[in-house]
Chain A
Amino acid sequence: GAGVSQSPSNKVTEKGKDVELRCDPISGHTALYWYRQSLGQGLEFLIYFQGNSAPDKSGLPSDRFSAERTGGSVSTLTIQRTQQEDSAVYLCASSGETQYFGPGTRLLVL
């Protein structure tokens, strides 16, 4: 595709439910990143995938957060037992030499 795409664009869920966020990176990009951006805050690194290497999970805030990248392409970020503090914009980026971002998924946990 022409750019990084993410789905859904918006997600409203109830506290305690699980959510899955999807990222389709730019074709050919081997690196994929997930970030979280809370209202008025900077980007918080969550997880990084590079090719077939083990992902860098050092930014995941708790064990309720996990991510997969299937076939070196599409990635899914899963948040289990969502809490209100999980409400944020979740941004995905892929890179060759430069990082390009998707539009984000706006998650609201009620």
Chain B
Amino acid sequence: EDQVTQSPEALRLQEGESSSLNCSYTVSGLRGLFWYRQDPGKGPEFLFTLYSAGEEKEKERLKATLTKKESFLHITAPKPEDSATYLCAVQAGTSYDKVIFGPGTSLSVIP
């Protein structure tokens, strides 16, 4: 069964303290892995798409990497405005473009 897990469930960082969020997946035929940011009361906001192992994408203080089993979202020198829930999702190689979401990691960055 296709599955996506994320760890940790919650992460509390001091401003400037770099860290990484993990997304592990078991799917048949990965077509794409997505990272989203979700602020309270809002829909998820797209951050990155990764398609193949070894691929990396960067945006400001965020960098996403992908291996055959997992993806990491690295946050360098985070700021309080980076506080949000970060969602990982995968699109598997089925006949339908179903996207499976992980439960998310809630990040709090303390000034």
Contacts and interface: CB of A to CB of B under 8 A. Distances in A.
A42 B87 contact: yes
Contacts of A98: 34, 46, 49
A48 B46 contact: no
Interface residues of A, number: 22
B43 A91 contact: yes
Given A98-B34, A101-B44, A50 B99 contact: no
A103 B96 contact: no
A99 B99 contact: yes
B1 to A, nearest CB: 12
A4 B100 CA distance: 20
The secondary-structure label for the interface of chain A is strand
B104 interface: yes
Contacts of B89: 43, 99
A45 B97 contact: no
A48 B98 contact: yes
B42 A50 contact: no
B34 A43 contact: no
A45 B45 contact: no
Interface string B83-101: 0000101000000111111
B102 A99 contact: no
Contact of B46 (A31, A35, A50, A100): A100
B104 A99 contact: no
A80 interface: no
A95 interface: yes
A48 B96 contact: yes
B98 A101 contact: no
Interface of B: 34, 36, 42-46, 49, 87, 89, 96-104
Given A48-B96, A50-B97, 6 more contacts: A42-B101, A43-B87, A45-B100, A48-B98, A95-B97, A101-B43
